[in-house]
Structure 1
């Protein structure tokens, strides 16, 4: 196939048509054509030559040149030219310049034309993939509509018009089926650049899909007057959504429900009948979790902020309602709030409270050598440990009904004596385990911690200094994991154990310097 004058303009028209059809820059198509011509020219004139092809963007004229570098001494005649010869072509030529020589036009044979076609196809396909990736990478988080193109092993391939996306079977609602030609609405949750082209991943189970559906159905959500704070879903079955209004005159729940439930029903229909609980969001976690557990009634909540857990007490007849079928209600409430939720009935909570009361009373009776009444009074007033009795102000003990100053002083004294005996016992055990006194001198280590270290085989400063902070306090087998120590505390302990390393180094350096300064004898 020869590129003649008759079809030069047609070449430009074809390039422009391909660019429009693939929605890519026409310049990319022209560059692909130029590369195809260059490769064909190398087949004709020899692969050892540096050849450049150029297509005039207005006329379609094709120019082909051979390029050679200007050098002092020629080593490769195919790619190099002497300075004298170069100046015959261009008087201003300098060493290192590239000298171009026009080459005759070439005819595209069948093999060359096929090769050029493959190059152009590859370039256009790469450009199309780049265009698709650039177009959709910034659309993550949007809802998109498409047509089902085909279904492969349960995965749905969706035609988006300018690209193809995949809706994997684990991102479909349960019992949901699609056929080629069906319209589908889904959420773009990821776009990846891969070797086989950009991969656009869709989901109908993602929590944000529900949030975006409400934004489409509720103008106040779209405008930002109502904010969706959290969504928890059991796809296809039930969901909970927490909303808050930034305008005190607008009820966020009512706005999302709509007149006679029209707005929420539109979302329910899109999600194949998934039931949706709309809950007002509050900054108070206890109140929020009580609302999230609806329709169950809650009698009492107890927060443990350190463990991010909340204990909920419900009437005996409300337990199954609070937990939900297969734990669905409490699981969704936990996902929505971000708290771990433990649910107890009133009877279970009462039994547990009585057990804790009895165990603490027995602990005080044994530790302080007091009668049951005094021990129960301490527990009833909220004292949980011997340490609290030992180090609480005497005034706090005096305020307990039936206690006077003498009783308060005696209880405090007995508590301190008990702790002293425990400490001495721990210290004795530490010595039996062979833990050095140098470790015991580290400020943040208690006798109980020293015993744990000894049981773990940590007996010298060097043993302790070899630890990393996570190995000491946070890892599953960390010897001090059970104690309330932060990573910063662990770092302080470890650095204190390593202090003698640096002291030894300084002494060695000082001794070395002293020996160097001493005159030779």
Structure 2
């Protein structure tokens, strides 16, 4: 068919009808029509020609034009769409490279195949525009709650009509015992919106911790206004949850505000989550204190936090152990998720046995190495001495405070400790040399003979070997495997070498070997000094464990 005056206006009417149906811009439909007509014209006049179509937005008249671009002589490749400056002089007054000569050509007669092809182009463009519109509409709504209507269920996944699009609620994002039928109303959390080939995919969730947080924001005005903040949420979907809240207004109780009058606010959230029990816990910046609150209703006797390992030990009365752990470990698991720490729970009896074992081990160490009787060795351990280095190199005053220890006895103790340490160092050095440790490693500042021995056992025998080590290989660390934190033992970890110290030693070795320019290290240190002033964190000299 030809684009005649009889159907020119029909083009615009069709474009507006399609745009209204698909809720997209009519201009996008018109552009799709222009492209489809352009393709049809190229099939008529030749694919090498640059044929363009422009539809008048008011009259619907379609204008077909042929465009030829002026190029350099040596760049001329397509004679149908390009021409040289010399040729262009026939059509243009003062042609330059880049100029275009546009001439109108007669409209094409569209056969059945061309018309079908044009239709496919329009449909494809309309689908792409519809997908872009859906993505733009929902991409900024990720992280919010949306109401929808269940359309159907496919292999356990629920397809939800959310207005101008469809969302998918996967099986693992449903609360366990929930079942839906078509036309049921459903409230979900938009977890993610992705642009994919088949169109935007909107992933919904009812098990995400953020879903509970958003529900509380809807029910508690103080959270919506920012007076109360939800700091952490941990869920066992459909069973139990813990939520940590803090108030920035001293006159408002965060727990009471979230519970509401006679529990009305929290009950509304519980009903939406199919009866999921919710523990509302006051947040505290002090992690041990927050953990004590999180383990409620169990009572906690003592908490020991190891910040480096991100682990925490909790001691509870013997009769409180099962309550602290919870059914199938639920209570301690949720508390661990809430705090972000690995939790070890032990009873007071177990902790007492462990401390007794440590006491006996240290007592035996002093008895065997310093030739002391049991009572005297126990006195040292009771005063907090844990190893020979502490005895050998502390101030005399710290030894003389022990009952029965005068200056002469303290000096004798230190002399014995130093003799033992020197003998151990000599033996370790001899053993390291026998395993092939070279002087370049032995004489490296910062490494003790025992450290060199440990390195040699692992095949690190030269300074070059040492310089190729990673800091975590020396100091140890933690990695996540399948969601579980796994300990990586460091070669020098038994000697209390930290990550920062290991990094410094390795870089020093690389500088000595000429692998690294020391001026570059100085520049990096200067760049990072300003950032360090702004950061807050634990002091390097602070103890690794603190008790509450």
Q: TM-score, normalised by structure 2?
A: 0.87
Name the structure, 1 or 2, with higher relative contact order (CA <8 Å, separation 6+).
Answer: 2
In the TM superposition, residue 398 of structure 1 has moved relative to its aligned partner by 1.9
Cα 1:240–1:502 shift into 2, 3 Å: closer
Question: Which residue in 2 is equivalent to 1:44?
Answer: 44
Q: CA deviation at 1:85?
A: 6.2
Task: Judge conservation of contact 2:146–2:187 (CA < 8 Å) in 1.
Answer: yes
User: Which residue of structure 1 lines up, in the alignment, with residue 484 of structure 2?
Assistant: none
How far 1:33 sits from its partner (Å)? 0.6
Counterpart residue number, 1:276? 278
Tell me which residue corresponds to 1:99: 101
Partner Cα distance (1:334, 1:283) in 2: 16
CA contact (8 A) 1:439 1:497 kept: no
Q: 1:82 offset after TM fit, Å?
A: 6.3
Computed over aligned residues only, the root mean square deviation of the Cα atoms, in angstroms, reads: 2.3
Q: CA deviation at 1:467?
A: 3.7
1:7 matched residue in structure 2? 7
Distance 1:297 1:467 in 2: 45
Which structure has the bigger radius of gyration? 1
Separation (CA, whole Å) in 2 of partners of 1:306 and 1:81: 72
- Structure 2 residue runs of 5 or longer lacking an equivalent are 478-487, 518-548
Deviations 1:38-70 (A, max 9, x none): 001111112121101100111111000122234
Q: What is the CA distance between 1:217 and its match in structure 2?
A: 0.5
Q: CA deviation at 1:371?
A: 1.1
Q: CA 1:404 to 1:254, structure 2 compared with 1: closer, same or farther past 3 Å? A: same
Deviation at 1:458, TM superposition (A): 2.2
User: How far apart are 1:496 and its partner, in Å?
Assistant: 4.5
Distance change (3 Å), C-alpha of 1:482 and 1:32: farther
- Residue 330 of structure 1, aligned match among 323, 326, 332: 332
Shift of the 230–33 alpha-carbon distance from structure 1 to 2, 3 Å rule, reads: same
Q: How far off its partner does 1:232 sit? A: 0.5
- Determine the structure 2 residue equivalent to 1:359: 361
Residue of 429, 441, 445 corresponding to 1:427: 429
Say which of 493, 506, 517 aligns to 2:505. Answer: 493
Any idea what SS the aligned residue of 1:104 has? coil
How big is the shift at 1:473?
4.5
Query: Matched residue of 2:308: which SS?
Result: coil
Q: Decide whether the 8 Å contact of 1:442 with 1:496 is kept in 2.
A: no
* 1:454-485 deviations in Å (ceiling 9; x for gaps): 11222223333444445554485864454433
Gaps of 5+ in 1: 506-521
Find the aligned partners of 1:413 and 1:384 in 2 and give their Cα distance: 17
- 1:304 is matched with 306
Q: d(CA) in 2 for partners of 1:334 and 1:4?
A: 74
Which residue of 2 is the match for residue 515 of structure 1?
A: none
Give the 3-state SS of the residue equivalent to 1:362 in structure 2. Answer: helix
Alignment partner of 1:136 out of 132, 135, 138: 138
Counterpart of 2:441 in structure 1 is 439
Distance 1:269 1:8 in 2: 59
Q: Is the 8 A contact 2:68 2:100 kept in 1?
A: yes
Preserved contact between residue 8 and residue 60 of structure 2 (Cα < 8 Å): yes
Q: Secondary structure at the match of 1:202?
A: strand
2-structure distance, mates of 1:407, 1:95: 100
For residues 324 and 222 of structure 2, the distance between their equivalents in structure 1, rounded to whole angstroms, comes to 31
Task: Return the alpha-carbon distance in structure 2 between the equivalents of residues 96 and 222 of structure 1.
Answer: 58
> Separation in 2 of the partners of 1:415 and 1:395?
16
TM superposition score normalised by structure 1: 0.91
Which shows bigger deviation, 174-183 or 7-16? 7-16
Contact 1:442 1:493 (8 Å CA) reproduced: no
- Other-structure match for 2:540: none
Q: How does 1:241-256 map to 2 (within 5 A)?
A: 241-256=243-258
- Tell me if the contact between 1:423 and 1:447 (Cα under 8 Å) persists in the aligned partners: yes
